[in-house]
Structures are given as C-alpha cells and as structure tokens.
Amino acid sequence: MEWSDFSDDYDMLFCDSAVAKSIKQDIYVNKLSRIKSIVKVLFLFFRKNKCIDFKYNGINNLYVLESMTPSNFKTINPIFELDKSSKLIIVTTPVFQRIDNVRYRGNLFNIDDYTFVNIGDFINSLHFCRRFNNKFRFVNIFQLIFLYLRASSLNNVLNELFSNVKCNNIILTNDTLGLSNLIVQNSRVFNIKNYVLQHGLPTKFYFPTSADNYIVWGRRFVSEFKNKGARSKLYSLGSPKVDEVMKYCFSDAKYNDFLKRYNISNNKKIFTYFSNSHAPELDKKVHEINIKLLNGLISHKDYHVCIKLHPSESMQFIKEVLQPYDGKYTIIDHEDDVYDLVKFSSYCASIYSTLLIESMCLGTYTFQFNATKSHKIPDYSNGGGCVEINSFEQLELSLNASNKNKILNQQLKYTENYFSNQGTSSEKILELIHERNCI
C-alpha cells in the first residue's frame, strides 16, 4: 500500500485537515521505528489516567476550541474577551501548543492530558499498523478501533469534567468534529445549554446539525440552514470575526515594515490571492486554471502578486503551478495578520473563501475567480458582491475600470446583507445567552 492511499483515508478520519496534514507529514518524514510504535501501542492500554482534581463553580459560559486555525480562533476569541464570567476553554493538544497568550494559558483545559487514548498515541499506532501489515482493510479496522477508544475515553473525561465544573452554557465553533459533537451530547445530560457559532459557509460537512442552538451570520443563512436540514434553533446575530474587522485600524508603520520584509516596491500595487487548493469541493484542475489567471499580473510592471495559503494547504501545489514565475511572486507567512494583508492590498481575490467577504468589509476591491463557472462554489458576485472573473482579459478590464468607487460601495452594501450586527455581534450573542439563562 502506498503512503498516498493511507493518507487519503486518514484525512477522511480527521475533519481538521490542518492538524491532520501536519501530523501526517511529520510521521512521513520521521518514519517511526517499529519498536517505538509497538511500545506506544502497549502503553496505550496500560497508561493510568490523570484524575480531574479541580472544581470550578459559578462559570457562566464555557468555551470549546477543538481545532486551531487563525480563522477558527477569531470566531470565538471576541466573545471570550468580552465575557468576564468565563474562566475555561476546552482544547486539544495541538491547540494548547499553539496558544501562548498568558491569559489563555491559565484558562485552558487540555483534554488530551486526561484521555486514555490521545491523538499522538492514535497516530503512532496507525503508523505501526500500516508498517506491520500492508492490507488496507487491516489498517482500516485499527482506525475504527482507535477512534472508538478515543471517543469512549473523551466521553468519560467529559462526564467527570462536567461533574466538577458547574456552568450554564457551552459555546463551540462546530458540532460535527468528534470532541465538539461529544460535548454537545454530554451538555444535554448535565442540562447545560449549547450554542454553535457559524464558522464557515454551510457546506455538507456541517449537516445535519446536532446542537440545540446555532448562531448564523445573517438572515439569508437562516433559510439556507433550514433548507439543508438543520435541526437546531437558528439565530441571526452575525459573526464575532466581523466585529474584529470593523475595529481594524490601518498602520503606516506596519505597512512599511511589510514592504521591507517582503522586498515589495512602494510603486507597485499589491494584488493578493487567497489560495485554497485543499478544498475538497474542487478538483486540482479548477485551482490550476484559477491560479494561472495570475500569470499575467505576475509579469506586469504595475503589480506585485502576493499569495496567502490556507493553513491546511500544501505549498508544493502552488510552486508547481507557478514554477515558470519562481521568484516573481511572494508567499505570505501564515503568521502575518490576514486583515493587515487585505488592507495593504489594492485588490484581493480568491475562488472560495470567506475572506472574500471580509475583504469587502474592509473596503478592498475584491474579485472572485471562477474561470470554470463551477456551481460547487458559493457565488459571492450575485447581487453586487465580488467582481466575478472568468478570464485574464476580463481581469484586465476590471483593473482598469473607471467605476471602482461605485463597485466598492456596492460591495460594502452586499456585506451588510450578509452579516447582521456588524461590529456588535459578540454583544448580541452574549445578550441572547443571558436572556435564555433566565428562561
């Protein structure tokens, strides 16, 4: 069995592809020895659990951050910062390792410290199984066994945690990933209200919903969620991420530092492309065609092309597609603030990203690349949103258009219909939770 066969099946098991791919690549590079893997498997069953020896009383709201991408963090962080009655966030090991904020570190409950089967053991054991037997079915059985063991272990820890920690509400960014789904189920047992914040566009991954309460971005999403089979009670209150967008302040110092770090001429206009070749809804050919729309701009004397990869995305794909232009475009670091990048840019584009909406919120001229006219992706251009681009000739015409201010105003109005309570959604969400506590 080839590594690619195993990795495809492995990615299906872990919905959080950012974590999955990073772990998968580490395993592939390091190639754990068989002896080490066997030891891991043995200790998996004989390791003693840590006891949850603390109690928190009077917590109003408990937060859950199961996966860690900048976007995911920005969805939940504004509410947590505003909510003075909250003291605890449930996280997994990859999230725990990436948060260095002092306030957060003192309030994190790393559930993998208490589980019988943690992610590291699970992955190492799978790697051992793959090396021990090349039959795909054999590996698949072990995957199911360990997933079951992890779910059982998580369930036990959650039962103990909720027995010790008294809270009224749980706020999550999804109800479909394993830990989050178990938390929703356990919250009902302990009579705790659960709320999920809409984190992304309503693709099939999110359905059917299992949470009791789902907070969506705007009124248009209420009907969309209902049509796709959402069983939750829906509230149109906006996105905490957009609250952060509305507070954004441009900094000349940060802009000049950005130009210097990436060696970008002050005389060139920055054109930023938010790539997402990892998206399961689209095949590689679609991304190749859309990326190649940038080829003309890369050679243009008036523009500097910046490419921001999704945290789950491999740089190898971009390098292959843009190989003829190596050194003539800039890959932006994951650590760079995405809102800074949007404001530093004269134009932003993507094929499929909520950053298209956030870019319009920030007042940057925004394009949606859809050269294949794919119906699998959300249409952000309908009703005065992004300028849809199907060819390089069309892109050139749009860049030279004389009615840019009119289009920018249209794009801002479009976002007002897309997101409710822009700038105040975090307050509105906490108000709703407080009101429902009194019921």
The domain that contains 359 carries what CATH number?
3.40.50.12580
Omega cis (within 30) before 208: yes
User: Looking at the 3D structure of the chain, how many domains does it have?
Assistant: 2
- Asked if 176 and 271 sit in the same domain, the reply is no
Q: According to the model, what pLDDT value does residue 89 have?
A: 82
Model pLDDT, residue 117: 56
Position 347 scores a pLDDT of 92
Structural domain that includes position 302: 248-418
- What is the predicted pLDDT for the residue at 355? 84
pLDDT at 253: 92
Shared domain check, 225 and 91: yes
Same domain, 163 and 103: yes
pLDDT of residue 74: 81
| CATH number of the domain encompassing residue 148 | 3.40.50.2000
Q: Are residues 228 and 277 in the same domain?
A: no
* 363 and 317 belong to one structural domain: yes
Where does 199-340 show beta strands of DSSP type E? 213-216, 233-236, 269-274, 303-308, 330-332
N-terminal to C-terminal alpha carbon distance within the chain: 57
- What is the predicted pLDDT for the residue at 428? 93
**pTM given for the model:** 0.72
Residues 149 and 266 reside in one and the same domain: no
Residue 213: count other Cβ atoms within 10 Å of its Cβ: 18
| Pair 438, 256: CB distance under 8 Å | no
Kindly list the averaged pLDDT for each block of 10 residues, start to end, along the chain of length 439: 30 36 38 44 49 64 78 83 79 74 71 67 49 47 69 84 85 85 90 90 76 90 85 90 85 92 90 75 67 76 85 70 73 85 91 84 87 65 79 84 85 84 91 81
- Asked if 177 and 296 sit in the same domain, the reply is no
Are 432 and 408 members of one domain? no
Give φ, ψ of 435 to 5 degrees: -60, -40
